[in-house]
Structure 1
Amino acid sequence: MRGLLSRLILNTLALWLVSLLYPGVAFAPGAGVVDYLVAGAIWGLANALLRPLFLFLTLPLNLLTFGLFTWVVNGALLYLVAQATALEVRGFLEALLGAFLLSLVSLFLNWLFRD
């Protein structure tokens, strides 16, 4: 349970930091901590449940692009999460860049708070 809670907090923190760093991804005005936590939870569930399915379905494109199509999958997931939460993404290109920044921020946070 401790690992699940720490994942939720790191996902939420990463989404919040990306929303501060990049204007293409932001939380709705008036969004509170609960909205951030819900977005972090849905982002974590999307990465755990939908991402493997999307990567499997796009395997030929991923092989053809040497794995670069994974960014498109990550951008699509971020765009889907934004549709279901208080997170706002201005468009799909912003979702692609936001997903790239989110992966960098998550990488840094996971390195910083590793067990």
Structure 2
Amino acid sequence: MSFLIRVIVNALALAAAVWIVPGLKIVATNEGLTSTVIAYLVVAAIFGLVNALVRPVVKLFSLPITCLTLGLFTIVINAVMLLLTSWLTTFTPFELIIEKFWWDAIAGTIIISIVSAVLGLFVKSGNE
């Protein structure tokens, strides 16, 4: 999958999470449809970069606790990556706001994972 397609899939997954979880918000400085679409794409690109660069290192160091919890700690790792994305977006005109860690971030990552997996089934891979 190319980077642009991954960003679009992440943007749609983020949109679903923002729609379902009341404590997740993506705020743009300029209101309007174009600004909102760009906000979702920028936040999705940052989320994709965080998942590509930071997440493998965190998963490596947390491997023992992930094995002890039979993989359930991966949900916490994904929530922390979403929180890191939220912090990084404070430096852009578009901001991802997470109100509560335990409910909003974890519920948001579960929804993002499910929607990304389902959308990934419909997107043709570049390797085929």
Provide the TM-score with structure 1 as the length reference: 0.90
TM-superposition CA deviations, 1:12-51 (whole Å, max 9, x none): 1111121112212121264622221110101101111111
Q: Structure 2 CA distance, aligned partners of 1:98 and 1:35?
A: 17
Q: Structure 2 CA distance, aligned partners of 1:104 and 1:114?
A: 18
Instruction: Show the counterpart of 2:78.
Output: 74
- Between Structure 1 and Structure 2, whose CA radius of gyration is higher? 2
Residue ranges of structure 2 left out of the alignment (5+ in a row): 90-94
Q: Structure 2 CA distance, aligned partners of 1:95 and 1:51?
A: 16
Q: Structure 1 CA distance, aligned partners of 2:43 and 2:80?
A: 15
The residue type paired with residue 7 of structure 2 is: L
Are residue 3 (structure 1) and residue 13 (structure 2) matched?
no
Instruction: Show the counterpart of 1:102.
Output: 112
Higher relative contact order (CA 8 A, sep 6+): 2
The residue type paired with residue 123 of structure 2 is: F
When structure 1 is superposed on structure 2, of 24-33 and 56-65 the one drifting more is: 24-33
Which of 101, 107, 116 aligns to 1:92? It is: 101
Ranges of 4+ aligned residues in structure 1 off by more than 4 Å: none
Matches within 5 A, 1:14-93: 14-28=13-27, 30=31, 32-85=36-89, 86-93=95-102
How many equivalent pairs are there? 114
When structure 1 is superposed on structure 2, of 30-39 and 70-79 the one drifting more is: 30-39
Provide the TM-score with structure 2 as the length reference: 0.81
Aligned-residue RMSD, C-alpha: 1.6
The residue type paired with residue 41 of structure 2 is: L
